[in-house]
Structure 1
């Protein structure tokens, strides 16, 4: 796939799992090609609920549940939303900054960082881009999302000057 994401799917999936472990799911594998977002009150493809309310203990520990992400905010309240629900990616997008790699080689620019640190930041950037695409797109399809993001960028570029 070319466009907004340029790495092969295997590398992108590894980056997603590295920074957001709950994305180790068949539902969130890059590239996603699902036809529509599920709503929290629906059942998923295997008959599983798309929303599971969190207990008080889970709200404190936020353990990883396969095929779900923990969301503090959502239409059904605090709990675990399926990775087939758009609200999952809205919450992941607001959380992605908290898992950013640290260290820039003593400055604000990565040009003084080590090779390993620059590579880690690159993987993080891939993860951040995928989450952004999924949050913005009306369907859970990464190719369509990439096209939408690129078209939006091309449309606003002339207005920036």
Structure 2
């Protein structure tokens, strides 16, 4: 796939799982090509609920629990709990959380002074961050359409009169 994401799908999927383990799901595989986002009150493709309420009293406990095909969301239309990766709210919450999993060790803040391994880690993180961003802003769960949307928005902004 060319455009906003330039790496092959296998590398992108590995990066997604490296930084956000809950994305090890058939629902979130890159490139996504689903018809529409599901709503939290609907059922997923296998008949599972798209929302499961949190069961423990502490958010910290819930945040560390990976539930297959779901992501833990502090905020959502149905409240705190696990939202299906088929729901856009999952990616909005992941976009809000992605900064907390950023790699460290940039040698003074600039990646150009970091080791090769550290620069590669930052590159993988950037791929993950881009995919999560485009999924959080696109009206359909289709990475090709999301990539086009992001590129078209950036082009329109750069061509706008000052």
TM-score normalised by the shorter chain: which range applies? Answer: over 0.9
CA RMSD of aligned residues (A): 1.1
| 1:146 corresponds to | 147
| 1:48 corresponds to | 48
Q: What CA deviation, in whole Å up to 9, does each residue of 1:87-117 have, x standing for no partner? A: 0000000000000000111x12111000000
| 1:79 corresponds to | 81
Q: What CA deviation, in whole Å up to 9, does each residue of 1:36-79 have, x standing for no partner? A: 00000000010000000001246331200000000000000000
Cα gap change, 1:58 to 1:35, in 2 (>3 Å): farther
Counting only pairs closer than 5 Å after superposition, residues 1-161 of structure 1 correspond to structure 2 as 1-57=1-57, 59-62=59-62, 63-105=65-107, 107-159=108-160
Which 4+ stretches in 1 moved above 3 angstroms? none
SS of the residue 1:138 aligns to = coil
Point out where structure 1 has 5 or more consecutive residues left out of the alignment.
Answer: none
| Mapped partners of 2:161, 2:128: distance in 1 | 26
| Mapped partners of 1:98, 1:60: distance in 2 | 14
TM-score (norm 2): 0.96
Q: How many residues align?
A: 160
TM-score (norm 1): 0.96
